[in-house]
Structure 1
């Protein structure tokens, strides 16, 4: 037998063993039902302090934002989460016995949070961010469960998921979990302060920040819960900027108080939150206590900063002549009255554009989305009547938006790449929605 043939046979044998092990793990995933279908055990009423703690944690996790359909009862589910693989509908987490989690025990709830399994053993889709909630401590999961059990029960069955084959099968989900998910609690880093560790716990666990602020592969998985390197949010055409880059959303150089202000009030001297992050501040972080906000700020400011300034996708020299003149004229007509002729803005009212990271960021998704859909910071206790920007989707054509933003991205010392009409149209129509 030749050496080559022996090598090939050896490789085939290794592949066969790997396939058997992979299949065994998949079968374990599918059949580890943990007494599926057992009757619910009676529970004692939770004390008021535990319920209050759970309510606070639900705010930290922004649970109701997903588990409440527009116009629906809080926690009753039915909100649609579009993905490149189809639509996932959120579950009913009120204590209704028939359609919610009224028959669940604290152990059942812990199984869902920690292992991504329903009470009946069914594998849950990671649209529920159990790759993050697996890091939540058991005591916090119990408090969260106590709060959910205190809600008014709502008899409502959300629509079934509308996912394409084979993603709609438990076998495919088991295979995905084999590749990308391992349950595990977050252990404190003894080299860091208690405040840093608390911040890491909130950011990586209940806060599930990397569910948005990370790039996903073609199967919808992130590298790990530590990945905060930025990514396009599937189906929304908003870019969640890198939290570890000084050229995107890194805050390593910000004063601590400014980071806290951004999380609590939605505004800071350096800028304001808009888009999906505005909802997070509105529904979640503005309700956190100052201790936890400072902990999150400490963790985010300590993130190792990655990368140098991004290189333009195309030379800015490609943009000039008539298009430059047109862009400057459009800016003068539609933007200068608020943002200033020199892009200086008005502190606390209209954001400055000169030196603004959103203006020069790659990809330019957020800049296009703000112009088309408008930009509205959240109304918070610290900023109850925020100034907003109206949408220009019906005012400007795709070509006008491209010319205008190309000017802004190359004015006042900026050196970002110009935009094309095609790019603006992609963000307007959502044709980038399936991209990871």
Structure 2
């Protein structure tokens, strides 16, 4: 009797495994076209359109190794699961997209699958790119096919087991990915929908500005609650939170200036966001800048549930921080953190200083503050790094001083916090 029960349990488990495997297989084939297809009829206008879209998506930012040939791949993209290396997008037949068709390229964007059938790592943000319309995919492909071919081999990813395996990728996709082209919201106008399309899809903004679960997945392309870029040590602040990166209270002109130049009276783009402005948003036309602004300012406003720190800063640490600020910072940022308009950003009320995560503040102090050099602001003022001048205690002291001065109540930064970023 017990043997029969054991057999039934085993059969039930096997059937459940078969059903799960079948579900994973079917979910990985949703809305998928076969590889191949007829050649794309490229035109100069299509190539020009594709070049614009490639800048809008900042494709070169990931697919170009520092100091390397444009779009030839090789740049390391760190993730919590290991390192992914961007692929060669030039029309080299052996290593790039030279043997690909427009249908193959569409399948990569829309389904996250390579020409050879291999599932792509979601470090390539196909959960966002799936929203791209087919006409834009074809334009991107036409542009990439117009580039000089570079015979640079693709470097294999260095993901830990089991994340590097295709079965693991398939299970991840079955759980967290569904292909879906962007559908305009009929309750919104064309400008808002254009902004949503750019921000959610091609711009893949929430690939940084959203929290990720234990498996590295976001909840949706419209989630902008903020996320820690663990492998890089930067925090992409919430676009919903006015205390972080929410822009609902900014004027349209201030937001346009930020996207176009990387700075405005509220501050300047730093770290990964400076790269986005440099390679992407500064190149957008006025209509698309306006559309992105309309969409970003329409996001629901939700402040994070954080209480001001009521713990007084250790007097010794405060005195050390005050002395270091006077020595290294006050000449530019002012004795009261007021800065100099158009030159040195204000620290008084700065969201980088006061938001809950001190990661970005520490990164700027450690690595220096460098706004992007854009066409409209080609020579922005920068700030030198202090990683080699100040030790962990001194860095913690100056950050804590900034977060507790001039009415700020953001809380103390510890030496451990600094060591994590070191």
TM-score of the two chains, using structure 1 as the length reference: 0.91
1:288-308 per-position Cα deviation (integer Å, ceiling 9, x unaligned): 001000000100011001135
The aligned counterpart of 1:413 is 407
SS at match of 1:205: helix
CA shift digits 1:295-346 (9 cap, x unpaired): 001000110011356224x5332x1322222211111111111100011000
Q: Which residue of 2 aligns with 1:143?
A: 139
Cα offsets for 1:369-405 (capped at 9, x unmatched):
0000001000111111100110000111110111111
- The alpha carbon displacement at 1:22 in A equals 2.4
Q: Could you tell which deviates more after superposition, 190-199 or 301-310?
A: 301-310
Q: Does 1:189 align with 2:185?
A: yes
User: 2:102 aligned with 1:118, yes or no?
Assistant: no
Residue matched to 2:25: 27
Is it true that 1:376 corresponds to 2:365 in the alignment?
no
> Displacement, 1:28?
4.0
Q: Secondary structure at the match of 2:369?
A: coil
Residue 390 of structure 2 corresponds to residue 390 of structure 1: no
Q: Quick one: which of 329, 337, 345 aligns to 1:351?
A: 345
What is aligned with 1:4? none
Contact 2:338–2:347 (8 Å) recurs in 1? yes
Cα distance, 1:315–1:145 mapped onto 2, change above 3 Å: same
Shift of 1:416: 1.0
Distance, in Å, in 1 between the alignment partners of 2:341 and 2:358 is 24
Alignment partners' CA distance in 1, 2:99 and 2:261: 39
1:52 paired residue number = 48
Quick one: distance in 1 between partners of 2:323 and 2:131? 52
Q: How does 1:274-423 map to 2 (within 5 A)?
A: 274-308=270-304, 310-312=306-308, 315-317=310-312, 319-423=313-417
- Provide the residue aligned with 2:97 in structure 1: 101
Matches of 1:389 and 1:156 in 2, distance apart?
36
TM-superposed deviation, 1:44: 5.6
Q: Gapped runs of 5+ residues in structure 2?
A: 1-7
Q: How many residues align?
A: 417
Counterpart of 2:3 in structure 1 is none
Q: Which residue of 2 aligns with 1:201?
A: 197
User: How far apart are 1:26 and its partner, in Å?
Assistant: 2.5
Where structure 1 has 5 or more consecutive residues not aligned to the other structure, the ranges are 1-9, 429-436
Contact residue 30 and residue 171 of structure 1 kept, 8 A:
no
Distance 1:25 1:375 in 2: 49
Question: Shift in Å at residue 102 of structure 1?
Answer: 0.9
Instruction: Find the counterpart in structure 1 of residue 4 from structure 2.
Output: none
Deviating more after overlay: 208-217 vs 64-73 = 64-73
**Structure 2: how far apart are the matches of 1:271 and 1:11?**
63
1:285 deviates by 0.5
Question: How far off its partner does 1:98 sit?
Answer: 1.3
TM-score when normalising by structure 2 = 0.94
